[in-house]
Amino acid sequence: MGDREQYLRYQQDRTVLGAIGARLDPQVSRIRVRLPRSLAELAVAAWNREELGGIGEESREEYELRDDAAELALIGLAISERGVRDGEEVIVDVDVVQVAAALRAAR
């Protein structure tokens, strides 16, 4: 039973994390970022790409790859809708969720 008790604590931790997220959400929904134009163009290309075929059974790693690709596409959507070129950079307000996904992918 001792091994499972930690998961009860983890569930409680997730509840607290969710409560923190609920308080933070209205405070930090979008963050203004500057991206090199080349990366911005790749993100927009991910948004514009049409994936053919359905999604079958996936491993955890495949799911995580697809999820990261979706976050990149959402950054591309933001750039398409509200990005502003500034020389060789693009300035755009990006949802904090996509910022977090990009930071996780960088690690």
- Sheet containing 89-95, strands listed edge to edge, beginning at the edge strand earlier in sequence: 30-36, 89-95, 84-86
Assess if residue 34 is contained within a domain.
yes
Structural domains of the chain, count: 1
Phi and psi at residue 87, to the nearest 5°: 70, -125
**What's the pLDDT score for residue 45?**
97
For residue 10, tell me if it sits in a domain.
no
DSSP E strands: which ranges in 1-107? 30-36, 84-86, 89-95
Per-residue pLDDT tens, the chain, 107 aa: give them.
Answer: 467 888 999 999 999 999 998 998 888 889 999 999 999 999 999 999 998 777 889 999 999 999 999 999 999 999 999 999 999 999 999 999 999 999 999 99
Would you say residue 23 lies in a domain? no
Task: Give which of 50, 87, 46 is closest to 68, Cα–Cα.
Answer: 46
Q: Which residues contact 2 (CB under 8 A, 6 or more apart)?
A: none
Prediction pTM value: 0.82
User: Which domain does 34 fall in, by range?
Assistant: 29-106
Q: Phi and psi (nearest 5°) for 27?
A: -90, -30
**End-to-end Cα, the chain, rounded Å:** 34
CA 63 – CA 3 distance, rounded (Å):
27
Give the model's pLDDT for residue 74.
Answer: 97
Q: Is residue 59 part of a domain?
A: yes
